[in-house]
Structure 1
Amino acid sequence: MDDKGAQLREGAERLALTLTESGMQRTTARVMTALLFSQQETMTAADLCEELKISSGAVSGAVKQLIPTGMIERVPAPGSRRDHYRFRDHAWATLMGNQNTLLDSMWNAAAEGIKAAGKESVAGRRLDEMQDFYGFMQREMAALIDKWREGYDAGMR
């Protein structure tokens, strides 16, 4: 591995450690960052096993967790029988957009609580603040993601 490759691998491992400390499973974080920092367009499970020194089962488990998040995707590779994976374009915006489901769930939980407790009760006042906060976040998050995409696609950074 050349110096640039070693630096990329070190950066990937540092980010994986940060993600692990934030609650992501270690192997999942390492697979994600390997694809993010890779100089290759795609990697196979065997490539990931070799690079990360982990089992094919570990790679398979990580891929199964990452694909539904929108961070990575399985892509066709003409002439290859193996699955190929890559870090998705706009993955970060997709991930944040997926957070809207969580924001919606939190807003709905607050609404249910307000309905049960009454808006003027002690719990109702706390739940009203929660509902207001998550409603605000839903509106702002969608607008921010759209604004970022427009600017990024227009080359304005």
Structure 2
Amino acid sequence: MNDRYEQRQAAERLALTLTEGGLQRMAARTLAAFLFTDQESITAGEIADQLEASAGSVSGAIKSLTTVGLIERLPSPGSRREHYRLRDDAWATLFTSQNTVIQAMLQAASAGIAATDEDDPARRRLTQMRAFYEFLLGELPALLHRWHRQSG
């Protein structure tokens, strides 16, 4: 067995764990490819080749990983392909206001509250939802500060 084979096996095991945790299968495999690459950046085509997957499925996975803040697009002067990499602070970014999913949840809760009557049980649930995400975003800066102090 060579190191590359062992890395691929470890990447597939990680992807399986992420899938069992709720991540879409292709997003999990794509994230594992970013984690295990030895390149500074990687293109969607390279990932598709590596995973033996369609360009469309990898493109969708990249979009979802970008949306939650795990990966970012890099400038690639002279290249016609988009280059991506795992963000330096990917795991912390996942839990910040840069995460468009958290912002979308807040907006959806607010829109739901505006669309319901004062005595509607849905309004109470939506208010609780919004309060949770506002609390989460309020608590995250101190948590992330402690993380940066510990990991830095």
TM range (shorter): 0.7 to 0.9
C-alpha distance in structure 2 between counterparts of 1:72 and 1:32, whole Å: 8
Would the aligned equivalents of 2:102 and 2:133 in 1 still touch at CA under 8 Å?
A: no
What is the TM-score normalised by the length of structure 1?
A: 0.71
> When you count helix as a share of all residues, which structure comes out higher?
1
Q: Distance in 2 between matches of 1:60 and 1:91?
A: 19
Secondary structure of the residue that 1:96 maps to in structure 2? coil
Q: Partner residue of 2:9?
A: 10
SS in 1 for 2:57: helix
Structure-1 residue corresponding to 2:150: 151
Number of positions where the alignment pairs a residue of Structure 1 with one of Structure 2: 148
1:120 counterpart residue number? none
Checking the alignment, whether the CA contact within 8 Å between 1:106 and 1:134 is kept in structure 2 is: no
> Aligned AA for 1:33?
A
Determine helix, strand or coil for the equivalent of 1:46: helix
Question: Is contact 1:103–1:138 with CA below 8 Å preserved after alignment?
Answer: no
* 1:46-65 mapped onto 2 (5 Å cutoff): 46-65=45-64
Q: What amino acid does structure 2 have at the position aligned with 1:27?
A: M
Q: CA deviation at 1:4?
A: 2.1
Distance, in Å, in 1 between the alignment partners of 2:48 and 2:127 is 49
AA in 2 matched with 1:96: F
- AA matched with 1:146: H
Alignment partner, residue 87 of structure 1: 86
Query: Aligned residue for 1:69?
Result: 68
User: 2:54 & 2:17 partners in 1: Cα distance?
Assistant: 22
User: Would the aligned equivalents of 1:103 and 1:137 in 2 still touch at CA under 8 Å?
Assistant: no
Which residue number corresponds to residue 32 of structure 2? 33
Give the greater-gyration-radius structure (CA).
Answer: 1
- Please give the secondary structure, in 1, of the residue aligned with 2:23: coil
Q: 2:29, 2:51 within 8 Å by CA — same for their partners in 1?
A: yes
Structure-2 separation of matches of 1:94 and 1:130: 21
Q: 1:6 to 1:68 in 2, by over 3 A?
A: same
Any conservation in 2 of the 1:107–1:135 contact (CA below 8 Å)? Answer: no
Offset, 1:48: 0.5
Percent identity, please. Answer: 45
Structure 1, unaligned stretches of length 5 or more? 118-123
Cα RMSD for the two superposed structures: 3.3
- TM-score after normalising by structure 2: 0.73
Structure 2, unaligned stretches of length 5 or more?
none
Q: 1:24 aligns to what SS in structure 2?
A: coil
